[in-house]
Structures are given as C-alpha cells and as structure tokens.
Amino acid sequence: MDNSFDDTEDNIRHPDEVKREQLLQDTRSDFQKQIDEAIYLSFQEVKNQQEISIKYEEQVIQEYNSEVNRRKEIFTKFIFDLHRLIKIDKDVNEIYDIIEPIIHSYCLQHLQVCELDEITHEKIFNLLSKIRTDKSAVEILKIIIIKE
C-alpha cells in the first residue's frame, strides 16, 4: 500500500517571511474629514429612521390585521345563518346581496358607515328582525347601515 502522506521534514512548508507595513498618513484636510464624518453620521441617522419606520409599519399592519379578524369574527355566524337561508327564501337572498358587500367592506375597514335609502333600510332590518341569528351582529349592522 502506497502512503501518499510522508512525515519527513522535507515535505514541511517553511513559514512565510515577516512583512512590515506602514499605514499611509491621512492627508485629507480638516474640512474633508468633517464632511466624511457628517456623511457617516447622516447615514447612521437614516439607518435608524428606517428601522423605526419598519417597526412602525409592522405595528400598523399587525393592528390592522387584528381589527380585521375581530370584525370578521363578529359577522361569521351571522353570514353563515343568512347563507343557509338564501337557498330557501328569495327575500333573504335579495337582502344578502345588499348587505354582504357592506359587511365585507366594513370588515376590511374600507368603510365605517353606509347610507341607504329609507325603503331599503326598513326592508333589511324588518327582515333581519324575523330571522333567528346573532342579534349582536344585527345591532352592529344597524350602526353601520344608516338611513339617508
């Protein structure tokens, strides 16, 4: 068996020679040094502001998402109940077609209040008062949907 690794001293590499280096002297003027320091400080300040902005944006997005989830949770059972009834009753289907986009927009925080004409408003809430569903969702819907 041929052993390619030989422990003899002939195969040992000698250390590199020691080199001495001298740093170049800073030949910039005081004005150039001050400008460079100001640029460095400015970059640091921009970096800090970006970090603060990113944290703030994350916080705003998190608050938005939690509010959207909270609002969707309020109307989940209500929409489910109406969705079951739209197959049976055409009046419920008509009302559902009106209020579902309103609820969806409210949950996504695109609108806070929706104004409807008095006839449509009365028709919606008269029908909803006859349906067995989540009454707290209906009460919130009364706050969202108002008469003109």
What's the confidence (pLDDT) of residue 133?
Answer: 87
Q: Is residue 79 part of a domain?
A: yes
DSSP label at 13? P
Q: What is the DSSP string of 80-101?
A: HHHHHHTTT-HHHHHHHHHHHH
Q: How far is CA 14 from the centre of its chain?
A: 61
Residue 84, domain extent:
41-147
Q: Is residue 34 part of a domain?
A: no
Q: Is residue 102 part of a domain?
A: yes
What's the confidence (pLDDT) of residue 4?
Answer: 56
Phi, psi of 135 (to 5 degrees): -70, -30
Q: Is residue 2 part of a domain?
A: no
pTM of the model as a whole: 0.68
Q: Is residue 29 part of a domain?
A: no
Tally the domains of the chain. Answer: 1
Q: Is residue 3 part of a domain?
A: no
What's the confidence (pLDDT) of residue 14?
Answer: 81
Q: What torsion, rounded to 10 degrees, do the Cα atoms 22, 23, 24, 26 define?
A: -140
Q: Is residue 8 part of a domain?
A: no
DSSP label at 14? P
Q: How far apart are CA 107 and CA 111, in angstroms?
A: 8
User: Alpha carbon of 91 to those of 88, 94, 111: distances in Å?
Assistant: 9, 5, 25
Q: Is residue 27 part of a domain?
A: no
Are 134 and 78 spatial neighbours (Cβ–Cβ below 8 Å)? yes
Residue with tokens 């300040």: 45
Task: State the 10-residue block means of pLDDT for the chain, 148 residues long.
Answer: 56 80 80 93 96 97 96 93 89 92 94 92 92 90 90
Residue (of 24, 111, 108) closest to 68 by Cα position = 108
